Amino acid sequence: MSISSGCNGTPIIRLVELYLDHLAAERGLSRNTIEAYAGDLGRYAAWMRSNRRDGAPGIDLESTLGYIGNLDPALEGTTRARIVSAIRGFHRFLYVEGVIDRFEADEIATPGRRRRIPFVLTQEEAARLIEQPGDDVLGLRDRALLETDYSTGMRVSELCGLTLERIDAEQRLVRIRGKGKRERIVPIGRRAMAALEKYLDRSRPSLLREPTPFVFLNYRGGAISRVSFWKLLKRYVAEAGLPPETTPHTLRHSFATHLVEGGADLRAVQELLGHASIATTQIYTSLDMEYLLEVHRTFHPRG
């Protein structure tokens, strides 16, 4: 059968009913299983309606992640897995029947493998951390390091390995070589660019001993190491009065979280972070789904 004709205006609860009929007539599932799916998908449909997602145009990956992110945290893992399975089957049915033009639900991480973010700074804490370095040679370098890391979400290895030719100051873009030698282009905010240019003009020449392509140098003129970055971050964390569990990766987590809080599209965050799969990026949706559902253009508090 085909239900695609004129389906855009069909309420989502009606689409659920058609799917349940399909399960009963063509899949031969037990009555108990169908009743469980009916309950799960009925609640899903009610949530979609309440969030103005009623009908086929509103059924997409972002809305589904929004629903899953708002599930009761007390639900057992098996219950969550069943709910995700029901939604995946529903989406697959709609895709096969031509109701939706993309099937993305397989990209949703299963509850059992879902990762947790160990620690994230607030926007105010991130600003306080970045403002700790002084105006001497190393202070200008450190301010540029922190600003650049928070503004781009780079991994520490990417930050320490950043070279001059990968920065486009005019366009405020950085070309990053990430895991598996995959490259991505990431915008860098105005404040970060200003701090970076001040470092390049006033500090880096003092640290330079011989020509090197690396942007961030140690006091011997070589590329700053991950260990050195960790040590300087630890010092500024203490000076800012931030929790000691703040690590170099905390700035990357905070970058992504603050984008989501600002309304960033999940796929944009995936691209900025250099994640191969959106399932990896999905961990950030649990932090503030209320903002994610707005699906605004990419925004960053220090952009």
Answer yes or no: do 261 and 161 share one domain: yes
CATH code (residue 196)? 1.10.443.10
| Backbone φ and ψ of 72, nearest 5° | -60, 120
Give the residue among 82, 45, 86 at the shortest CA–CA distance from 63.
Answer: 45
Average pLDDT, rounded, for the chain: 82
Amino acid symbol at 257: T
Are 76 and 146 contained in the same domain?
no
> Is 146 in the same domain as 14?
no
Task: Rank 27-36, 79-88, 127-136, 246-255 by mean pLDDT and report only the highest.
Answer: 127-136
Which pLDDT score, from 0 to 100, does residue 36 have? 86
Do 184 and 282 lie in a common domain? yes
Q: What percent of the chain has pLDDT over 70?
A: 81
Sheet with 183-187, side-by-side order of all strands: 167-168, 173-177, 183-187
Of the given ranges (19-33, 205-219, 255-269), which has the lowest mean pLDDT? 19-33
Q: For 159-171, give the DSSP string.
A: HHT-BGGGEETTT
Find tokens 């990053």 and name the residue: 176
**Of the candidate ranges 110-119, 259-268, 284-293, the one whose mean pLDDT is the lowest:** 284-293
Same domain, 135 and 236: yes
pLDDT per residue over 43-67, tens digit each?
A: 998 988 888 777 777 787 777 788 8
**What average pLDDT does this structure show over 96-113?**
67
Q: Are residues 137 and 279 in the same domain?
A: yes
| Residues marked as catalytic | 155, 179, 249, 252, 275, 284
Reported confidence tier of residue 295, pLDDT bands at 50, 70, 90:
very low
Q: 197 Cβ partners below 8 Å, 6+ apart?
A: 169
Same domain, residue pair 103 and 143? no
Same-domain pairing of 46 and 129: no
What 31-37 contacts at long range (C-beta under 8 Å, 24+ apart), as own/partner pairs, is: 36/82, 36/86, 37/86, 37/89
| Cα 91 to the center of its chain, rounded Å | 23
Structure tokens at 136: 């001497």
Contact between residue 160 and residue 229 where contact means Cβ atoms under 8 Å apart: yes
- pLDDT reported for residue 292: 38
pLDDT at 233: 94
> Which pLDDT score is estimated for 79?
81
Question: If 0-12 CB within 10 Å is exposed, 13-18 middle and 19+ buried, where does residue 255 land?
Answer: buried
Q: What are 125-183's pLDDT values in tens digits?
A: 999 999 999 999 999 999 999 999 999 999 999 999 999 999 999 999 999 987 767 88
Please indicate, yes or no, if residue 243 is contained in any of the structural domains. Answer: yes
pLDDT at 165: 96
1 occurs within a structural domain = no
Number of folded domains that form the chain: 2
Nearest to 92 by CA among 112, 106, 73, 113: 106
Assess whether 106 and 43 both reside in one domain.
Answer: yes
Task: Tell me if 237 is assigned to some domain.
Answer: yes
For residue 29, give its domain range: 7-113
- pLDDT, average across residues 273-295: 56
pTM here?
0.57
Judge whether residue 237 has pLDDT over 70: yes
Specify which of 145-149, 279-283, 294-298 reaches the highest per-range mean pLDDT: 145-149
Q: Are strands 167-168 and 183-187 parallel, antiparallel or unpaired?
A: unpaired
- For residue 186, give Cα distances in angstroms to 130, 190, 267, 303: 20, 13, 14, 12
> pLDDT band for position 98 (50/70/90)?
confident
- Cβ atoms within 10 Å, residue 77: 11
Of 113, 135, 157, the last residue of a domain is 113
Please report which confidence band the pLDDT of residue 76 belongs to, taking 50, 70 and 90 as the band edges. confident
pLDDT in the model for residue 196 = 97
Could you tell me the pLDDT band of residue 110, with boundaries at 50, 70 and 90?
low
Last residue of a domain, one of 93, 113, 133: 113
Do both 95 and 208 map to the same domain? no
**Res 4: pLDDT:** 47
